A and B are shown apart, each in its own frame.
Chain A
């Protein structure tokens, strides 16, 4: 079920909010084995795309995972079909421990009756996820007191234990230190060997290091698509990012995102 095969294919996706077109006919696909990036300035519609794929916002068009149509299904059904996601602002269950968070996330494949039993021991899948996200030492810590980066990792771990076929990550490294970014990037590359990984990100440096293919969104439309170098050389992409640069103050830009002058301006330090 988790093996390679089905791709995530988005075709002509449209999302409107009361007449405002947030996503206007976006198409892209993502395959197991690549770390697929979705970038774009603030308000480009990246989060809305992920919301539509996961059933949180209503969209039209088509989103398929393998041979399954996802659009029009409930969120919980889409999750059960093998789509996991993280959120721009980490949303773990703060009152529960790291282990409990992972445990209820792994519950997906358990029978309803087993829900009535208390947890005994730790599933091997959860143990290996703890290992993978580097939180083995923190297993009993309430998720609410984890650092920002650790919360993001916990969210990735909660997704991993669900054994999804596709993982959608909304700004997973926002607010992380350089070392944490590297660890996250390597983790994503490992995950992507067997699964579909789609990353929404602002950090151009991070994107350059780990992306295999990139789609650039702007005002709800696909502006450019291709390999990293190809996209960066695209004059339309440069224009969009330089265009917003004029209206942005550099002071609000986190230092480690300052490496790429042409693109960082899109980042308002939002989500940090």
Chain B
């Protein structure tokens, strides 16, 4: 048991991988598989938020910015791919028949450039932004407000540049995904598999980061930032790494969201979308490994089932769930497992491992899978 314990999270990830990559494609209808793919995207962003917020204490209220960077990079590429050579994306001709392709669209014709942009744009933006903020010791509410404001700013910028970006209508009608016809079920399954695999990869990456010495330093920075300086580290650098990793994950999530959902609009990256991303993390348990991903999936599922059949009620239910979780389970649903384990140990007369992470939670997956 004790020898097995450090590997429990990996076993959890493996079970999760089997559920997503083997069971889900076998039992789910195309419609629900596509939905599950969408939840996987939100879960990828959530895993990053778990690292930055749960472990690093940075309340990243504006991950929509990085989600948007990845999403729009991908959407521009897919739009160009779906446009006949020599002509313009339809929406541009609609607004101005004599328009020419804006210069910043041009490089997104290239597959390689698009993939590089999805990775490098968030790293550069988060790197510069994080460096400026953390070196100046901006934290807490100021940091949260600033990051939220950025998400709003990007959404407004896109809304107001309708000729260049499609504005509020967004970008849609993608026909091809790197040469594959998107309307084909086999290709849809492939895109889902990519999203699910990347989610698994992100979980593995965060698992390794959490157990590494960096992970210990990150928690130390969260709990006593100034004290970390006396270990000889600049807490700004430690936070920066976690922030950049979270931004990268959000960007990847956004990039995959586009071929799966088939449309991207500013509403998907603005303030409320950003808050919904962090809401799932809070629900699942921000500091645990599986909590953020499962929380995000649960919220995603709630939104597409309850949210579409009973939109008003869904908002109230969401609000109520939050009040209850904040009041009674501030560390999210996954802390229930830690508590249950504690009770179990106590009844057996052995002390619980106080430092142990809440055990992997696989339950809420059912939300997404069994439907």
Contacts and interface: CB of A to CB of B under 8 A. Distances in A.
A142 B355 CA distance: 7
Contact of B230 (A54, A110, A114, A118): A54
Contacts of B208: 116, 118
B26 interface: no
Nearest to B6: A118
Contact of A116 (B209, B224, B234): B209
Contacts of A76: 229, 231-234
B268 to A, nearest CB: 32
B219 interface: yes
Interface stretch (B149-157, B188-196, B210-218): B210-218
B121 interface: no
B231 A107 contact: yes
A145 B353 CA distance: 13
**Overall SS of chain A's interface:** mixed
A75 B231 CA distance: 9
A103 B214 CA distance: 11
Interface in A86-130: 91, 93-97, 100, 103-105, 107-108, 110, 114-119
Contact of A119 (B213, B219, B223): B213
Interface stretch (A63-71, A77-85, A204-212, A230-238): A77-85
B213 A118 contact: yes
Given A93-B224, A95-B223, A142-B354, A107 B213 contact: yes
A43 B135 CA distance: 31
A146 to B, nearest CB: 12
A257 B234 CA distance: 39
A: interface residue count bin: 20 to 34
A142 B231 CA distance: 18
B229 A79 contact: yes
Contacts of B198: none
B115 interface: no
Nearest to B231: A105
B212 A103 contact: no
B276 interface: no
Contacts, number: 78
B212 A85 contact: no
Contacts of A119: 213, 216
B213 A104 contact: yes
Contacts of B226: 56
Contact of B212 (A95, A105, A118): A118
B220 interface: yes
A93 B220 contact: yes
A150 interface: no
A94 B213 CA distance: 16
B109 interface: no
A80 B232 contact: yes
B220 A84 contact: no
Nearest to A55: B229
B231 A116 contact: no
Contacts of B230: 54, 75, 79, 84-85
A115 B217 contact: yes
A162 interface: yes
Nearest to B209: A116
Given A96-B219, A96-B220, A116-B208, A79 B231 contact: yes
Given A79-B231, A93-B223, A116 B212 contact: yes
Contacts of A145: 354
B139 interface: no
Interface in B220-258: 220, 223-224, 226-227, 229-234
- List 7 tightest A-B contacts by C-beta distance, closest first: A75-B229, A108-B232, A79-B232, A115-B214, A118-B211, A93-B220, A115-B213
Given A96-B219, A103-B216, 16 more contacts: A76-B229, A76-B232, A76-B233, A79-B230, A79-B232, A93-B223, A93-B224, A95-B355, A100-B355, A104-B213, A104-B231, A108-B231, A116-B213, A118-B208, A118-B211, A142-B355
23 contacts: A75-B230, A80-B232, A85-B230, A93-B224, A94-B223, A95-B355, A96-B219, A100-B216, A100-B355, A103-B213, A104-B220, A104-B231, A105-B231, A107-B213, A107-B231, A108-B233, A115-B213, A116-B208, A117-B213, A118-B208, A118-B212, A142-B354, A145-B354
